[in-house]
Amino acid sequence: MIDLIQSTIREGGIVLWALLLLAVTIYALVADLWICCARLRERVRAREWQLTPDTHGASQALDSRQLQSQFALFALQDCARIDRRLPFLGILIGAAPLLGLLGTVVGMLITFGGIADAPGVAPIDTVSIGISRALVTTQAGLIVAVPAAFLIAFLKRKADLLHGELERQLHEKTADAGTLT
Rounded to two decimals, the pTM is 0.75
pLDDT digits over 108-164, tens only?
Answer: 888 887 777 766 666 777 777 778 778 899 999 999 999 999 999 999 999 899 888
pLDDT digits over 52-110, tens only?
Answer: 455 444 445 556 677 667 766 766 677 778 888 999 999 999 999 999 999 999 888 88
User: So what's the pLDDT on residue 55?
Assistant: 46
User: So what's the pLDDT on residue 138?
Assistant: 92
Helix boundaries (H) for 46-123: 64-74, 80-117
